[in-house]
Amino acid sequence: MWVFSPIFSYAQQHQLGLRLGEPLSITYKTDLDDRFSVEGMIGRGSANSAAYYRRSFENNRPLSSAVYQGHTASDAFTLNARVAYHEDITSEFDISEGTLLAYLGAGAQLRSVNVNYVYFTPNPSEQTVFLNESRTNIDLGPEGYFGSEYLFEDLPISVFAEVGLFFELIDRPGHLKLQGGIGARYLF
């Protein structure tokens, strides 16, 4: 039984909190050991640029003569699964209380946005009639990120800031989206 003592001696730490930024999410994180953690996030992401959705419409018109007029995007949803490597950098900054970590990670992200397109078909003999078509835009791909987290010494709270890049593989392969956020988590 003493062979397993290093595994049982590490206390797993759970964190639940809110991430403000892109995407805005509820975040749950747990440490696997003193260097690695896993995190799940669920929340709302922003829509892509107007040019992104216009290009999507142009590449998949409802009718061959359809002319793009505009769009609205709503109900953006994101789901993330991530793993990170942490390094304690407290001593490099001469911090006397609490713990400062730097981290680097990778994961997968699923994004979904409802898009309502407005278009028309040119007909010189009639008044222009605008038509609508609703679509769900689903994006899936890997993300890479880095950041820093501060764990308070006397409070069960951590605060963090991070920046990352989402690389779309499904729907529009190669599309990149810069993301970032700040947040706080309760440790239990």
Mean pLDDT of the chain: 92
Please tell me the pTM assigned to this model.
0.86
- Give the CATH number of the domain where residue 163 resides: 2.40.160.20
pLDDT at 11: 56
- % pLDDT > 70, the chain: 94
Kindly provide the b/e burial profile for residues 97-128, where b requires at least 16 CB atoms within 10 angstroms of the residue's own CB.
eeebbebebebebbbebebebebebeeeeeee
Residues 179 and 175: their CA atoms lie apart, in Å, by 13
Residue 1 placed within a domain = no
Quick check: 5 pLDDT over 90?
A: no
pLDDT at 96: 94
Name which of 39, 170, 28, 173 is nearest 111 in CA terms: 170
Residues 181 and 161: their CA atoms lie apart, in Å, by 6
Residue 81 placed within a domain = yes
**pLDDT category of residue 128 using cuts at 50, 70 and 90:** confident
Residue 98 placed within a domain = yes
pLDDT at 83: 98
Q: How many domains does the chain have?
A: 1
Name which of 176, 4, 158 is nearest 84 in CA terms: 158
> What is the end-to-end Cα distance of the chain in Å, rounded?
27
Residue 72 placed within a domain = yes
Residues spanned by the domain of 56: 14-187
Residue 3 placed within a domain = no
Quick check: 27 pLDDT over 60?
A: yes
Residue 157 placed within a domain = yes
- List all residues 6 or more positions away from 122 whose beta carbon is below 8 Å from its beta carbon: 65, 67, 128
